[in-house]
């Protein structure tokens, strides 16, 4: 590992996956065009199936151009040699995603109706190996209606995965629940859906980002940590089926879907958020670059030069060591520390393993990774060390999560 690292190749999270994308009638059909692009960009092959109602909102021409496959719209389409599009479409598919799924379409699924190609195909799919996901899209009153509530409960009981919906402005001008998720959110959900569920039933607590230690109302001490590695670990743990709490210092990164985020600014605030939460979690991953010291006193007014040539001096006081404090808890979670070093990575990582009394330290070269989308990690424990070579941070986070999961299962075996 040295400073001159090359950019990691783009991740193809859905490489090799074949998705049947069903569109039922709704204004959210316009988002299905973008969704198709996102799925294809992520490496999936996409076969679009549209209901007649969907064709009122977006044309098969658009969907064919984006998916690079002719769109299936009718069970009477004679192009299929056996004339059984409803069977053929799902036999090689990894999943069926209906987006948008209208209230009417959900009702049809519940009753096993099969009077158009899309509903017929959903009924005829091999239920054990071709999962069904739906992204509802409808007016908030339709969403809240007892009939829709009943239908959703039944769909869940039948093994259907419900994605969203979101709340907010609706095409009808009303505001509330029922908006279909955005294309990028649906992509994130699909990618997560296919990840192995190595942490199902576990709770994971992650710290991420820098802390900011104020000197006066406009200045402070902080560092170059971007939070990207910690956010990637939170996302990877959530994808692996864990319930995730992310305590984040001041960073402007979007919260991974399904992750509970607590924003803090200072090391003390991070400590106060983490300590009471730690014993409710099975795993604690400390990726935050916590400031080691803070100014001993906080000036409540901006410190002025006032013509003086003498620079002010500050007394510093030590911040609490959050990781070491969690590791001291009697019923502590499985603790993973990070070591961001500028040199002698292995030596410093070993030192932290002992000093913080944790079973695993993940070493990386701080200056080479801060702010970047890729990284290289070194896993150090009492037995030895192992390198996770240069890759984008989410790929590394998934490898680390798999490693943690296998250590947890060994520990509980
Ligand atoms: N850490 C923490 N609280 C602190 C300082 C560090 O929880 N006050 C955690 C970090 O999140 C990381 C690990 O401890 O997981 C190591 O952090 P690092 O800053 O590399 O180590 P320090 O203990 O601060 O040692 P040094 O600055 O001497 O390298």
pLDDT tens digits for 363-406?
A: 998 777 777 888 999 999 999 999 999 999 999 999 999 999 99
Structure tokens, 229 = 């590695």
Q: Give the C-alpha separation, 138 to 159, whole Å.
A: 21
Cα(212)–Cα(220) distance, rounded to whole angstroms?
6
- Mutate-to-test residue for ligand 1 from 207, 274, 292, highest number of ligand atoms within 8 A of CB: 292
What are the pLDDT digits (tens) for 289-335?
Answer: 999 999 999 989 999 887 777 888 889 999 999 999 999 999 999 99
What distance in angstroms lies between residue 125's CA and the mean position of ligand 1's atoms? Answer: 52
pLDDT range class, residue 72, cuts 50, 70, 90 = very high
Angle CA(127)–CA(130)–CA(135) in degrees, nearest 5? 100
Ligand 1 nearest-atom number relative to CA 267: 8
CA of 219 to the centre of ligand 1 (A): 23
In the reported structure, the alpha carbon of residue 340 is separated from the centroid of ligand 1 by a whole-number distance in angstroms of 8
Q: In the prediction, which pLDDT does 312 show?
A: 85
Domains of the chain: 18-194 (3.40.50.1950), 203-295+309-412 (3.40.50.10300)
Which atom in ligand 1 lies closest to the alpha carbon of residue 322?
7
At which residue do the structure tokens 């935050």 appear? 288
pLDDT value of residue 2: 40
How far away, in angstroms, is 7 Cα from ligand 1 center? 27
Q: How confident is the model at residue 62 (pLDDT cuts 50, 70, 90)?
A: very high
What are the distances in angstroms from CA 13 to CA 96, 160, 188, 337?
17, 22, 10, 27
Q: Is 60 exceeded by the pLDDT of residue 8?
A: no
What residues are in contact with ligand 1 under a 6 Å CB criterion? Answer: 207, 267, 286, 288, 290, 292, 319, 321-323, 337-340, 352
- Which atom of ligand 1 is least distant from the CA of 292? 8
CA distance 391 to 12: 13
Residue 6 pLDDT > 70: no
Q: Is the pLDDT of residue 5 over 60?
A: no
Give residue 134's pLDDT band: very low, low, confident or very high (50, 70, 90).
very high
pLDDT of residue 20: 98
- Please tell me what DSSP assigns to residue 210: B
pLDDT tens, position by position, 227-258? 999 999 999 999 999 999 999 999 999 999 99
Q: Which atom of ligand 1 is nearest to the CA of 288?
A: 11
Tally of residues, the chain: 413
Distance from residue 290's CA to the centre of ligand 1 (Å): 6
Active site residues: 172
* Per-residue pLDDT, 1: 37
Nearest Cα residue to atom 27 of ligand 1: 292
pLDDT by residue (tens digit) across 77-131? 888 899 999 999 999 999 999 999 999 999 999 999 999 999 999 999 999 999 9
In this predicted model, what pLDDT tens digit does every residue of 172-199 receive, in sequence order? 898 989 999 999 999 999 999 999 999 9
Tell whether omega for the bond before 100 is within 30 degrees of 0, i.e. cis: yes
Percent of the chain, pLDDT > 90?
85
pTM greater than the 0.75 cutoff: yes
Average pLDDT, the chain: 94
pLDDT for the residue numbered 91 = 93
Q: How many CB atoms lie within 10 A of CB 12?
A: 12
pLDDT of amino acid 3: 41
Which of 249, 271, 286, 351 is the pocket-test mutation for ligand 1 (most atoms within 8 Å of CB)?
286
Of the candidates 204, 312, 337, 331, the one whose C-alpha atom is nearest the C-alpha of residue 259 is 204
């Amino acid at each position: 590992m040295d400073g001159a690292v090359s950019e990691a190749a783009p991740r193809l999270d859905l490489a090799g996956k074949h998705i049947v994308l069903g569109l039922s009638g709704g204004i959210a059909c316009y988002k299905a065009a973008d969704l198709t692009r996102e799925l294809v960009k992520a490496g999936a092959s996409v076969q679009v199936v549209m209901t007649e109602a969907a064709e009122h909102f977006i044309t098969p021409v658009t969907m064919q151009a984006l998916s690079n496959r002719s769109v299936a719209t009718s069970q009477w389409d004679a192009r299929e040699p056996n004339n059984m599009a409803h069977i053929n479409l799902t036999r090689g598919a990894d999943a069926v995603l209906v987006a948008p799924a209208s209230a009417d379409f959900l009702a049809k699924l519940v009753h096993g109706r099969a009077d158009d190609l899309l509903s017929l195909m959903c009924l005829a799919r091999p239920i054990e190996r071709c999962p069904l996901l739906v992204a509802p899209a409808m007016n908030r009153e339709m969403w809240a209606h007892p009939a829709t509530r009943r239908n959703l409960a039944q769909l869940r009981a039948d093994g259907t995965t419900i994605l969203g919906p979101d709340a907010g402005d609706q095409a009808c001008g009303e505001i509330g629940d029922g908006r279909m998720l955005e294309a990028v959110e649906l992509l994130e959900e699909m990618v997560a859906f296919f990840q192995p569920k190595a942490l199902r039933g576990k709770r994971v607590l992650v710290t991420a980002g820098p802390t900011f230690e104020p000197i006066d109302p406009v200045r402070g001490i902080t560092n170059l940590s971007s939070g990207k590695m910690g956010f990637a670990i939170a996302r990877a743990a959530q994808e692996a089926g864990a319930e995730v709490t992310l305590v984040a210092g001041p960073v402007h990164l979007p919260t991974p879907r399904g992750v509970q985020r607590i924003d803090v600014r200072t090391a003390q605030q991070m400590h106060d958020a983490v300590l009471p939460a730690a014993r409710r979690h099975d795993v604690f991953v400390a990726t935050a670059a916590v400031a080691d010291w803070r100014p001993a006193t906080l000036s409540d007014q901006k410190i002025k030069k006032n013509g003086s040539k003498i620079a002010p001096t500050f007394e510093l006081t030590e911040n609490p060591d959050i990781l070491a404090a969690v590791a001291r808890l009697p019923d502590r979670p499985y603790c993973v520390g990070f070591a961001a070093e500028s040199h002698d990575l292995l030596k410093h990582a070993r030192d932290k393993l002992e000093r913080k009394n944790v079973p695993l330290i993940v070493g990386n070269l701080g200056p080479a990774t801060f702010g970047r989308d890729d990284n290289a990690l070194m896993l150090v424990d009492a037995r030895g060390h192992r390198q996770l070579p240069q890759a984008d941070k989410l790929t590394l986070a998934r490898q680390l999560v798999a490693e943690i999961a296998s250590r947890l299962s060994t520990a509980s075996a």
